[in-house]
């Protein structure tokens, strides 16, 4: 039997890592909102939305247009596209309302990255994350099993957490 379990730990990033986390959150929001606008336009014109694969192909072109998108974790940008595609799939199945634009003023900001080629790992009291390197964390318990993904969150008081 397959069991998924989540662990949440407090992060203590350095100033440089905090800046990179903020950039990654902002870029993920930018990509989500940009493609949501395109998706809405296509839906109004044709009655059908785009697909994840077509948006993913456009993402590489977008990185050439906006060079600052290359500074952050590419998997986080792809995850925001995947979330958009999933939310539109649920909308077409009448399970949810249409997806809305993400706001910078939302209290909790986050981004998700997937585990590929051991790019996410816990070593002693640090976690290795893509582009960030090793970030200090308050390890309250041992992580059992393999890590599938990590979601980095910043709450309203400015504290950082990671859910794996």
Average pLDDT of the segment spanning 110-134 = 90
Rounded to two decimals, the pTM is 0.90
Closest by alpha carbon to 113, among 85, 142, 145, 82? 82
pLDDT at 118 over 90: no
Contact residues for 120 (Cβ-Cβ < 8 A; gap 6+): 113, 127, 128, 129, 130, 147, 149, 150, 164
If we measure between CA atoms, which residue out of 163, 143, 164, 161 comes closest to residue 11? 161
Paired tokens of 148: 């599938």
Q: Which of these, 29, 40, 35, 34, lies nearest to 98 by C-alpha position? A: 40
Instruction: Please give the Cα distance from 89 to 68 (Å, whole number).
Output: 30
pLDDT digits 0-9 by tens, 2-48: 788 899 999 999 999 999 999 999 999 999 999 999 988 888 888 77
CB-side neighbour CA atoms (13 Å) of 133: 6
Our CA dihedral for 119, 126, 108, 98, rounded to 10 degrees, sits at: 20
Q: Which residue has the tokens 């730990």?
A: 9
Domain spans of the chain, in order of start: 8-163
């Amino acid at each position: 039997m397959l069991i998924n379990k989540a662990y949440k730990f407090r992060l203590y990033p350095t100033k440089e890592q905090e800046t990179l986390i903020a950039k990654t959150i902002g870029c993920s929001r930018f990509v989500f909102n940009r493609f949501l606008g395109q998706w809405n336009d296509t839906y109004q014109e044709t009655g059908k939305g785009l697909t994840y694969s077509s948006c993913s192909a456009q993402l590489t072109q977008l990185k050439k247009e906006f060079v600052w998108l290359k500074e952050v974790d590419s998997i986080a940008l792809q995850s925001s596209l995947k979330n958009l595609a999933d939310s539109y799939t649920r909308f077409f199945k009448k399970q949810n309302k249409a997806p809305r634009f993400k706001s910078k003023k939302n209290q909790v900001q986050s981004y998700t990255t997937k585990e590929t080629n051991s790019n996410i790992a816990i070593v002693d009291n640090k976690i290795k994350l893509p582009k960030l390197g090793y970030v200090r964390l308050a390890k309250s318990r041992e992580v059992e099993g393999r890590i599938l993904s990590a979601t980095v969150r910043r709450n309203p008081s400015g504290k950082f957490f990671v859910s794996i």
